[in-house]
């Protein structure tokens, strides 16, 4: 019996939530396996690659220095085999002192009931109010480059030039698991230009670590038939520090509300990666 997409996405979200809860638990990080993580699991976190043994060793090493580690799921966006998550974490060291909080963006790929890979960008929260302050001036520049690239897509008449300015010629990324290069991204936006009259983009949260920037943003689209749709996107971008162009990404985009028909893949699939 075929499983409808909404049921599959709900199941994938549950698998990710259960795995994350076990990972953050001191008891869950014993010597046994983590439920939901495939033996072939791989993760790239802030540009560092891990296989499953390396990932578990890294987390167990960190957990030994903490008295408390508590994650809160702030937002979850599922589409197909991708589960994108924005999480916040509170941290207490072994000596009882509260540490700076952490903001985390994850994009997980779930296949056959197991998490097979993930992309992650996280940043410590600094400042008296817990503001997200980039660690270095260069990171601030890269975060701003991504913000300008994403928000600048609102100008449909200039979007093709904007894409070629802000996305690198060698760009390679995914939206909802579909592979895109720059030519295909431009072609997709050309299709959007014929369908839409307005695009409004509101960035809700962003974090930066090294040359990776995690972003969650909402998109409001107006169509020529006067109908509208709202989308939510979670994306992790990789930026070339020299050119400040986007060279890679993993994004999950989903229709939140509006009149986009399920068979109309134009709106949810063609948004920026």
Q: What is the CATH number of the domain that holds 246?
A: 3.10.450.50
The domain tally of the chain equals 2
Give domain status of residue 41, yes or no. Answer: yes
Give residue 150's domain range: 137-269
The mean pLDDT value of the chain amounts to 85
Closest residue by Cα to residue 182 from 199, 169, 194:
169
Give domain status of residue 130, yes or no. Answer: no
Considering the domain architecture, whether residues 112 and 197 belong to the same structural domain is answered as no
Q: Residue range 236-240: average pLDDT? A: 97
For residue 271, give every residue at least 6 positions away whose Cβ sits within 8 Å of its Cβ, in sequence order, or none.
175, 219, 231, 233, 251, 253
Q: 95: pLDDT confidence band, cut at 50, 70 and 90?
A: confident
Boundary (domain end) residue, out of 124, 157, 190: 124
Give domain status of residue 167, yes or no. Answer: yes
Boundary (domain end) residue, out of 124, 155, 186: 124
Considering the domain architecture, whether residues 191 and 159 belong to the same structural domain is answered as yes
Boundary (domain end) residue, out of 124, 152, 178: 124
Considering the domain architecture, whether residues 150 and 115 belong to the same structural domain is answered as no
pLDDT at 28 over 60: no
Top-confidence range, 63-72, 153-162, 190-199: 153-162
Considering the domain architecture, whether residues 163 and 192 belong to the same structural domain is answered as yes
Give domain status of residue 55, yes or no. Answer: yes
Compute the distance between CA of residue 266 and CA of residue 260 in angstroms, rounded to an integer: 9
Beta strand 98-111 with 114-124 is antiparallel
pTM: 0.87
Considering the domain architecture, whether residues 111 and 175 belong to the same structural domain is answered as no
| Backbone torsions φ then ψ of 127, nearest 5 degrees | 100, 155
Considering the domain architecture, whether residues 28 and 119 belong to the same structural domain is answered as yes
Considering the domain architecture, whether residues 141 and 217 belong to the same structural domain is answered as yes
Give domain status of residue 20, yes or no. Answer: yes
Beta strand 37-45 with 48-51 is antiparallel
**What pLDDT, on the 0 to 100 scale, is given for residue 20?**
86
Q: Residue range 58-68: average pLDDT? A: 79
């Amino acid at each position: 019996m075929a499983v409808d997409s909404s049921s599959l996405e709900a199941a994938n979200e549950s698998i990710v939530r259960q795995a994350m809860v076990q990972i953050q638990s001191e008891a869950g990080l014993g010597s046994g396996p983590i439920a939901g993580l495939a033996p072939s699991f791989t993760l790239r976190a802030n540009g560092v690659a891990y296989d499953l043994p390396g990932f578990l060793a890294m987390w167990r090493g960190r957990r030994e220095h903490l008295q408390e580690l508590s994650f809160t799921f702030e937002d979850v966006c599922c589409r197909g085999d991708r589960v994108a998550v924005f999480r916040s974490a509170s941290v207490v060291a072994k000596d009882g002192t509260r540490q700076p909080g952490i903001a985390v963006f994850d994009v997980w790929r779930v296949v056959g009931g197991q998490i097979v890979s993930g992309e992650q960008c996280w940043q410590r929260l600094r400042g008296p109010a817990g503001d997200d302050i980039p660690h270095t001036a260069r990171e601030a520049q890269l975060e701003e480059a991504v913000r300008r690239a994403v928000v600048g897509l609102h100008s449909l008449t200039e979007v093709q030039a904007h894409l070629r300015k802000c996305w690198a010629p060698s760009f390679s990324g995914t939206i909802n698991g579909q592979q895109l290069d720059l030519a295909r991204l431009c072609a997709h936006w050309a299709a959007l230009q014929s369908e839409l009259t307005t695009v409004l983009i509101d960035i809700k949260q962003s974090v930066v670590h090294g040359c990776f920037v995690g972003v969650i943003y909402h998109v409001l689209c107006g169509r020529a038939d006067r109908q509208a749709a709202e989308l939510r996107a979670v994306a992790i971008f990789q930026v070339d520090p020299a050119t400040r162009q986007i060279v890679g990404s993993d994004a999950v985009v989903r229709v939140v509300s509006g009149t986009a028909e399920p068979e109309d893949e134009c709106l949810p699939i063609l948004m920026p990666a």
